[in-house]
Structure 1
Amino acid sequence: MDAEPCRTGPVWVSEALRVLGKALEGSCAPSTVWFKESSQKNLRSRDFLVPSGALRKSFPDGEVPADLIQKLMSLVTPGLPPVKKCLQAEAGLVIQLDRPEVFYRVLKDFTPYMKPLPTADDGQDIVILNCAPLQSCKSLDTLRLSHLRAVLLADHLAEVLTLKGKQVYLVPALLCKEVEEFLSHLGISWSCLVDTPSLEETVSSFKDFLRDCIPNSTDVDSTQSPGVIGVQLKTLAEKHNLCLQGYDPNVDFFPVNEDDLRHIARLQKSVQETVKTSSCTVLHIVSCEEQFHQQKLDLLWKLMVPSIRDVTQKHLISGPVKVLNSTLPTSCLQYFQLRKSQMLEASVMKYGESVQGESWDQIIDSLTSAAIKFELMAIPHRSQVNLNLEEVNITTKGTKSGAFVMYNCARLATMFDSYNNAVSQGSYPEFPPAENLNYSSLREEGEWLLLFNYIMMFPEVLSQSAQMSATSPGIRVTANTEAVCKFLVSLSMDFSCYYNRVHILGEPLPHLFSQMFARLQLMKAVQSILHSALKMLHILPLTQI
């Protein structure tokens, strides 16, 4: 069979695992599975592995038949990376890919790796993201750190779900210009529109409905809370056969005020304006302190508007944010200003008096935005974030910080600027077409690590970060909102090790150009991955530092 036609189209790790697993069907026990290797040590000798323990369970003598090994060696299918060798070793059944061929298949056109893998449609074409803390945020002073975390999560989810092909709508429109300006410093563009008169008409109709149509609803006698209406939620929910699976068992009496009704009215308006014929999910992004209250609003909405019971409502909980070594509350503005001053101080210490002017203002703003987002988003959304406001590793010295990721973006940009300047001076030739490069010259361990663990895995990370089941039982969902941050940190660490060890821009000698161009093409792919991932966080990558 002519191998040339197989050199078309991208290759996928997920497809390799699927095809290799299918090839073992009937020969091995169902529990026998392939694993993708990721550590630099193991990648020296193998890319995929069935552990020896699993083989002993599948074959009586622990020996893999020669015809099965030959079958695995001869697999050819679209999307499957070409196999170089398959053998049984001490670790188990080992496959090593034809690495020069994989480099060629990926790097000649790496644009397919900038998108999430296609997944089975969950039927929810429209997602309304309700960032609950913003519903009552009337000034920057009322925006707590836990609220800011919820906003960042909502903003990130909107980006990854849109990339996945969903129609995403953010609710509510911001109530305060001051909050809008603050969020813009973090790269978040959130519409800032005033509520229309029709919204107040809906609120008024909800009040009339509660007083006239809901039995046992009462005006709560309180001089501090005028206009509050008490509703027995649990009793009414059971009467109307509403499923209470996943709700707090203490959800019962609810003193409903105008802000609550306005919150529901905005959600009602968003559903009416966006849902035509497609199904819809309303995802409430709520801080842990307010999750109980959001459950009450969820039930009240269903009771007042029966048609909403067909709309899927899910709750994604944002964990608390705790400031360490401080007894005083820290506002979002104070937190931002502190991190910005630390970024400025670190930059001045490293680059001296050149740190001034508009371009440096933009650099400091980008570094600050990255630092804050990685701090608040790099751990699972339901876990507590512990902020050490005196943490020196928040600067570029800390390899797990957003600033470190940005620093490596700048290193790549500077390297490509150096190459382009050398081309303009005639030292280097123009970059040749990617499909004409000699990828067999990429023999460094770090080069395969960057390709196999990051470029080829980025679609999987994007799919993982947008993965949530809207049809799962109960009302809570989890999402892998930390996946992109963790991926960027890991990529930056391995790229930095490679960059510090390998001289990419070699001497301007013709016999060195082939390897230099192959390495530069690999770096182009790494740069594209970094920029695409940062876009998912609305962080502007640095082009100089």
Structure 2
Amino acid sequence: MEAKPCGTEPVWVSVALRVLGNALEGSCAPSTVWFKESSQKNLRSRDFLVPRGALKKSFPDGEVPEDIIQRLTSLAVRGLPPMKKCLQSEAGLVVQLDRPAVFHRVLKDLTPYLKPLPSVDDGHDIIILNCAALHSSAHLDAFRLSHLRAAVLADHLAEVLTLTGKQVYRVPTVLCKEVEGFFSQLGISWPCSVDTPSLEDTILGFKDFLKDYIKNSHDVDCTPSPDVISVQLKTFAEKHNLCLQGYDSNLDFFLVNEEDLRQVARLQRSVQETVQTSPCTVLHIVSCEDEFHQQKLDLLWRLMIPSTGDVAQKHLICGPVKVLNSTSPIGCSQYFQLRKSQMLEASVMKYGESVQGESWNDIINSLTSAAIKFELMATPHRSQVNLNLEEANITTKGTKSGAFVMYNCARLATMFDHYNGAVSQGFYPEFPPAAELNYSSLREEGEWLLLFNYIVMFPEVLSQSAQMSTSSGGIRVTANTEVVCKFLVSLSMDFSCYYNRVHILGEPLPHLFGQMFARLQLMKAVQSTLHTALKTLHILPLTQI
């Protein structure tokens, strides 16, 4: 039996769905019947619902016995949000939460809501992220937009996986100074260094191994040049009973050059350098045009290092990036400069001649970085990204853009600056402790929407963004790399609607301070959520605009 809450435990939607489902176990399917409401219209009257159609499968005419309703109302479980009432309605079985109590439980301490939910141990604590495009990026011009998309996704995955407690290692290091500078400008945090001399010895050893392997295997020598070694991968896989589920059926001869061996050497070194205290997964993050080649490298590694069979290799494939209405290829640098010029033009149109100087240059760079990352990440990673570089609504307020999120971060920062300025002038008192505030004054629909759909849900969003099917069959995995961007855009839109409608900083009258402080504490929670989510994208939130 779970202990009753003492009123200090964090509240979790996932716990609520599980507990409410278990309470109906035996009469309805647990946890699959209840769902959380999210639309502003439905949240006016309910927070959780079992639709009447689902109830009819277990109860005559869909009518739930009163004793079951009483049992639901009296539930007291750690993590369960405090309930106000449970009743039968035309829509079905409805639960409405004690909203002032939920506001108090959440807003008095935001710490639990700024990190993922406790994760279930999947046995893979060490993740090596291999951003495949970086192996062959000798200069920035060779780094295509599809490569940039893979790098941005890898950068984000490294952050969210680390938040869930994984040990994350990123390979390869960035070797090209041009690419390193571009990454720094865009806010991609990836290690930079040069290959160590010992790598050359490993490559020579690989060459000798392959020559002996071919000789002993009596493979046909179809090597086109002395610098290339031909390997029959399919023969190797069949000989060693390797499962090729998910691999391309055309995978056979691999003409291995020194650059291929160098990539494998880097991966092998990364595995050797990690602390092998638990199973290790190597996640290859690959653009779709390089997928076939990465599969060959996968098998080549297994061939040359048999112990690699103990390392799970998975492939996360990024769909193509297509530039619309363009007759010539667009490079990464050109893409960045174009978006930057558009951000500058939009800012000048809005703010006039004040858009100049060092601080504004930093603002424009931040807006550009946010715009690009949201463009490349808001689409599921397997799907194609379509870029319209002539799009007219790339502005600081386009509601689907990263720049719009940044704009709302700046609005919050400006509001708190105004509050602090008013405190220093004696208009407002100092902010009281969050636990002492009266949250019963938060009765606006938009206030509950921000708390229930975003602040309370943020740990689950972070957990979802780190979920991958690494233990499934086959080599491909899917990840929810788009959820944080979508969450940020949706939160920004609902915050903007609320901010435009509600006057948060009221008149400096004592009888209005209670509601103002409660609203400001809610806005602190919104701001902390925005900043934490942006941090997973390595985007610095704007403090002014």
Structure-2-length-normalised TM-score: 0.98
> Where do residues 11-26 of structure 1 align in structure 2 (5 Å cutoff)?
11-26=11-26
- Would you say the 8 A contact 1:323–1:388 is kept in 2? yes
Cross-structure match for 1:303: 303
Q: Which amino acid aligns with 1:265?
A: A
SS of residue matched to 1:85: strand
Cross-structure match for 1:33: 33
What's the CA shift for 1:110?
Answer: 1.0
Cross-structure match for 2:351: 351
Cross-structure match for 1:427: 427
Cross-structure match for 2:96: 96
What are the superposed Cα offsets for residues 76-128 of structure 1, whole Å, 9 maximum, x if unpaired?
Answer: 11110011011110100000000000000000001100000012101111100
> Where do residues 361-400 of structure 1 align in structure 2 (5 Å cutoff)?
361-400=361-400
SS of residue matched to 1:7: coil
Cross-structure match for 1:417: 417
Q: What is the rounded CA distance, in whole Å, between the counterparts of 2:246 and 2:485 in structure 1?
A: 30
Q: What is the rounded CA distance, in whole Å, between the counterparts of 2:212 and 2:29 in structure 1?
A: 65
- Would you say the 8 A contact 2:7–2:105 is kept in 1? yes
What's the CA shift for 1:132?
Answer: 0.3
- Would you say the 8 A contact 2:468–2:477 is kept in 1? yes
What are the superposed Cα offsets for residues 345-368 of structure 1, whole Å, 9 maximum, x if unpaired?
Answer: 111111111111111111001000
- Would you say the 8 A contact 1:117–1:463 is kept in 2? yes
Q: What is the rounded CA distance, in whole Å, between the counterparts of 1:48 and 1:452 in structure 2?
A: 11
Q: What is the rounded CA distance, in whole Å, between the counterparts of 1:318 and 1:219 in structure 2?
A: 35
Q: Which moved more, 1:387-396 or 1:432-441?
A: 387-396
SS of residue matched to 1:379: coil
Structure 2: 5+ residue runs without aligned partners? Answer: none
SS of residue matched to 1:511: helix
Q: Which amino acid aligns with 1:380?
A: P
Q: Which amino acid aligns with 1:384?
A: Q
Q: Which amino acid aligns with 1:235?
A: T
Structure-1-length-normalised TM-score: 0.98
Q: What is the rounded CA distance, in whole Å, between the counterparts of 1:217 and 1:194 in structure 2?
A: 36
What are the superposed Cα offsets for residues 240-286 of structure 1, whole Å, 9 maximum, x if unpaired?
Answer: 11111111111101000000000000000000010422210000000
SS of residue matched to 1:6: coil
> Where do residues 185-204 of structure 1 align in structure 2 (5 Å cutoff)?
185-204=185-204
Q: What is the rounded CA distance, in whole Å, between the counterparts of 1:394 and 1:204 in structure 2?
A: 51
Q: What is the rounded CA distance, in whole Å, between the counterparts of 1:528 and 1:286 in structure 2?
A: 33
SS of residue matched to 1:94: strand
Cross-structure match for 1:233: 233
SS of residue matched to 1:515: helix
What are the superposed Cα offsets for residues 144-169 of structure 1, whole Å, 9 maximum, x if unpaired?
Answer: 00000000010000000000101101
What's the CA shift for 1:217?
Answer: 5.0
CA gap of 1:297–1:440, structure 2 versus 1, over 3 A, is same
Q: What is the rounded CA distance, in whole Å, between the counterparts of 1:305 and 1:38 in structure 2?
A: 51
> Where do residues 209-248 of structure 1 align in structure 2 (5 Å cutoff)?
209-214=209-214, 215-216=217-218, 221-222=223-224, 226-248=226-248
Cross-structure match for 1:402: 402
What's the CA shift for 1:539?
Answer: 0.2
What's the CA shift for 1:213?
Answer: 2.0
- Would you say the 8 A contact 1:211–1:218 is kept in 2? no
What's the CA shift for 1:135?
Answer: 0.6
Cross-structure match for 2:539: 539
Q: Which moved more, 1:4-13 or 1:201-210?
A: 4-13
What's the CA shift for 1:31?
Answer: 8.5
> Where do residues 53-452 of structure 1 align in structure 2 (5 Å cutoff)?
53-214=53-214, 215-216=217-218, 221-222=223-224, 226-452=226-452
Q: What is the rounded CA distance, in whole Å, between the counterparts of 1:213 and 1:177 in structure 2?
A: 37
CA gap of 1:219–1:151, structure 2 versus 1, over 3 A, is farther
Q: Which amino acid aligns with 2:23?
A: A
CA gap of 1:189–1:175, structure 2 versus 1, over 3 A, is same
- Would you say the 8 A contact 1:100–1:439 is kept in 2? yes
SS of residue matched to 2:370: helix
- Would you say the 8 A contact 2:4–2:76 is kept in 1? no
What's the CA shift for 1:531?
Answer: 0.1
Q: Which amino acid aligns with 1:498?
A: Y
Aligned residues, how many? 541
| RMSD over aligned Cα atoms | 1.4
Q: Which amino acid aligns with 2:409?
A: C
SS of residue matched to 1:58: coil
SS of residue matched to 1:392: coil
What's the CA shift for 1:392?
Answer: 2.0
Q: What is the rounded CA distance, in whole Å, between the counterparts of 1:103 and 1:4 in structure 2?
A: 19
What's the CA shift for 1:395?
Answer: 1.4
Q: Which moved more, 1:350-359 or 1:527-536?
A: 350-359
Divergent runs of 4+, >4 A: 29-32, 216-221
Q: Which amino acid aligns with 1:90?
A: E
What's the CA shift for 1:375?
Answer: 0.2
SS of residue matched to 2:127: strand
Cross-structure match for 1:513: 513
- Would you say the 8 A contact 1:130–1:283 is kept in 2? yes
Q: What is the rounded CA distance, in whole Å, between the counterparts of 2:219 and 2:529 in structure 1?
A: 55
Structure 1: 5+ residue runs without aligned partners? Answer: none
CA gap of 1:4–1:217, structure 2 versus 1, over 3 A, is closer
- Would you say the 8 A contact 1:154–1:285 is kept in 2? yes
Q: What is the rounded CA distance, in whole Å, between the counterparts of 1:61 and 1:269 in structure 2?
A: 65
